[in-house]
């Protein structure tokens, strides 16, 4: 099994209120980018439904240089209607994210640190500073 040390949060960079699923993102990544699979391990839809993505035992393709020891989670949204970066994480998604973080920490039996994609790249993703929004989950 991979040595996992952190969780990296992403957004789909889609307009708020436009719900998509892991299958759509998988299609973008496989057919658009030529990847072998979706880059994220989990996707959180607008209603808080958590969908599986890339198998957890396989390194993701979500944060260049940081995939080997991380789990990638993508929430749907992250942009306003004009496609500008925006924190669109709703209450259902936030609750699901917190439960997923808790579950992953229990499964791995360790404190996995929580980070935003924007900590490792110049992108706005996930649309906010994780350290400010989730100070108790870092």
Catalytic residue, candidates 29, 41, 62, 125: 125
Catalytic residue, candidates 11, 40, 45, 115: 40
Task: Clarify whether 86 is annotated catalytic.
Answer: no
Task: Clarify whether 40 is annotated catalytic.
Answer: yes
Catalytic residue, candidates 10, 41, 62, 66: 10
117-133 b/e (C-beta count within 10 Å ≥ 16 → b): bbebeebbbbbbebeeb
Q: Are strands 42-44 and 14-15 parallel, antiparallel or unpaired?
A: unpaired
Catalytic residue, candidates 45, 62, 86, 117: 117
Task: Clarify whether 62 is annotated catalytic.
Answer: no
Three-class SS state of 136? coil
Q: Other C-beta atoms within 10 Å of 70: how many?
A: 22
Catalytic residue, candidates 98, 123, 133, 137: 123
Task: Clarify whether 42 is annotated catalytic.
Answer: no
Task: Clarify whether 41 is annotated catalytic.
Answer: no
Residues annotated as part of the active site: 10, 40, 117, 123, 125
């Amino acid at each position: 099994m991979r040595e996992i040390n952190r969780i990296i949060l992403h957004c789909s960079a889609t307009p708020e209120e436009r719900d998509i699923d892991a299958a759509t993102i998988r299609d973008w990544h496989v057919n658009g980018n030529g990847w072998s699979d979706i880059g994220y391990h989990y996707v959180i839809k607008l209603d808080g439904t958590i969908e599986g993505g890339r198998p957890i035992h396989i390194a993701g393709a979500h944060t260049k240089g940081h995939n080997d020891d991380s789990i990638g989670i993508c929430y749907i949204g992250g942009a306003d209607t004009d496609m500008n970066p925006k924190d669109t994480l709703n209450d259902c998604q936030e609750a699901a994210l917190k439960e997923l973080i808790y579950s992953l920490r229990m499964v791995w039996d360790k404190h996995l640190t929580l980070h935003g994609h924007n900590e490792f790249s110049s992108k706005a993703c996930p649309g906010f500073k994780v350290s400010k929004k989730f100070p108790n989950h870092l």
